[in-house]
């Protein structure tokens, strides 16, 4: 009897463990600005990058030191990167970024990091003279790889639960089949 049950159990274990890597959720790999960074130039967007593709429904919320949310005019999600853009550069202050992403496997992941803006005031005339080329150079200089922040996981993903449940059904069903068949 055990000889018949072992192949079914082995198949269930192999099926369940082979599907686990496909359910890995995205992790934060970079951010601009980075966690703890003091930004010295005008900043009009916040972007974060993840290890895997992120889905629609993901979100970034930026709040100032008083807890007031800074309204973004555009949130773009492109493959592994999410960017929130603002109508005007952020004022000199401390900011907290709360992000909430939905991984390609359906697993929700969230986290928080903070940064400060301490930009020198620029006269309107000088700001108007700034060329697009200078803005691109500034953004390239500001980009630094971020250290991953602590992530809060809200619970097991639907895919993971389905794989575990499916494996259990195969093991139990196979065991019952061979037990009842022998009688």
pLDDT band at 44 (very low <50, low <70, confident <90, very high): very high
| CATH number of the CATH domain containing 117 | 2.60.40.1220
Residues 96 and 131 in one domain: yes
Query: Which tokens go with 114?
Result: 């903070």
The answer to whether 109 and 25 have CB atoms below 8 angstroms apart is yes
DSSP letter (8 states) at residue 80: T
pLDDT band at 167 (very low <50, low <70, confident <90, very high): confident
Residues 7 and 69 in one domain: no
Residues 8 and 70 in one domain: no
pLDDT at residue number 161: 61
Residues 50 and 115 in one domain: yes
Residues 132 and 78 in one domain: yes
Residues 36 and 121 in one domain: yes
Say which residue, 169 or 113, is predicted with more confidence: 113
pLDDT mean across residues, the chain: 75
Query: Which tokens go with 158?
Result: 């639907």
pLDDT band at 6 (very low <50, low <70, confident <90, very high): low
pLDDT at residue number 85: 94
pLDDT at residue number 181: 76
The answer to whether 84 and 46 have CB atoms below 8 angstroms apart is yes
Residues 145 and 163 in one domain: no
User: How many structural domains compose the chain?
Assistant: 2
To the nearest whole percent, how much of the chain has pLDDT over 90?
38
Residues 125 and 69 in one domain: yes
pLDDT at residue number 10: 61
pLDDT at residue number 149: 43
Domain that holds residue 141: 26-156
Q: What share of the chain is helix, strand, coil (3-state, %, to 5)?
A: 35, 30, 35
Residues 1 and 45 in one domain: no
CA 32, CA 46: separation in Å to the nearest integer?
6
Mind listing the pLDDT tens digit for each residue in 17-29? 554 444 466 788 9
Alpha-carbon separation of residue 40 from 21, 67, 117 (angstroms): 41, 22, 6
pTM: 0.56
Average pLDDT over residues 145-161: 48
Residues 109 and 183 in one domain: no
Closest to 25 measured CA to CA, from 111, 147, 83, 114: 111
Residues 176 and 140 in one domain: no
């Amino acid at each position: 009897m055990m000889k018949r049950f072992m192949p079914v159990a082995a198949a269930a274990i192999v099926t369940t463990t082979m599907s686990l890597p496909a359910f890995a959720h995205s992790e934060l790999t970079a951010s601009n600005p980075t966690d703890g960074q003091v930004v010295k130039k005008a900043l009009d967007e916040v972007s974060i990058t993840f290890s895997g593709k992120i889905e629609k429904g993901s979100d970034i919320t930026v709040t100032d030191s008083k807890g007031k949310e800074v309204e973004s005019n555009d949130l773009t999600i492109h493959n592994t990167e999410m960017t929130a853009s603002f109508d005007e550069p952020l004022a000199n202050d401390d900011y907290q970024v709360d992000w909430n992403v939905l991984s390609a496997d359906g697993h929700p992941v969230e986290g928080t990091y903070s940064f400060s803006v301490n930009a020198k005031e620029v006269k309107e005339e000088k700001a108007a003279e700034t060329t697009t080329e200078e803005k691109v150079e500034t953004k390239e200089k500001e980009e630094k790889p971020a250290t991953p922040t602590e992530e809060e996981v809200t619970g097991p993903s639907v895919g993971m639960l389905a794989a575990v449940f499916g494996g259990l059904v195969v093991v139990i069903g196979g065991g019952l089949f061979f037990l009842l068949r022998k009688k």
